[in-house]
Structure 1
């Protein structure tokens, strides 16, 4: 059994529809202010899709991940079809402790929206 730990991150992109995302691509800002990818969630439940989707809005042309490509899995060449969202919603998630340079190796589990936190309050990746 893997050790699991809770953490927070910014929802920066989604798969599926923005209003009812299938999965979330999560990030944190590094010390230089760049939004770094740290994790992807496992598929969300129907309830979670509606809950988190109600907080999200599409990312604009200036979104740092607008033209970024992400692999489906660790070491995979297959790319994710994702939609950047405004990086202003913080969520809490549970992930195993397999973290490499601030990035979770396995999909994490979405827990809930943390509307009491702003992206600027989160520690940088790997901290």
Structure 2
């Protein structure tokens, strides 16, 4: 299969089970922990119990094994006030350890998907 020449990720969600183990409570009022749980439920299926999802099922929607071999170059934007900023930093480091050329552009004091807000701003 052909792979893209590069990937741009805006406030990625590195791991769906991240919110059960290492949540960083920050001041991101745009994306709350409750909303993150609800979005995760949508990703796995409304009637699916998160704790019954198998590793095989999860591997189709979340890079649980942190395997980034043969990834193209990646550019990531993330706000330092995101609830998943630590997971994004961990993912970035795992990419580097896998030999991926990756840039993490952190917006100091900014929230989830800050880089996309210019699309709706009149400025």
Shared fold per TM-score greater than 0.5: no
- Considering fraction of residues, name the structure with more helix: 2
Given the two structures, how large is their TM-score scaled by the length of structure 2?
0.29
Structure with bigger gyration radius: 2
The TM-score, its normalising length taken from structure 1, stands at: 0.29
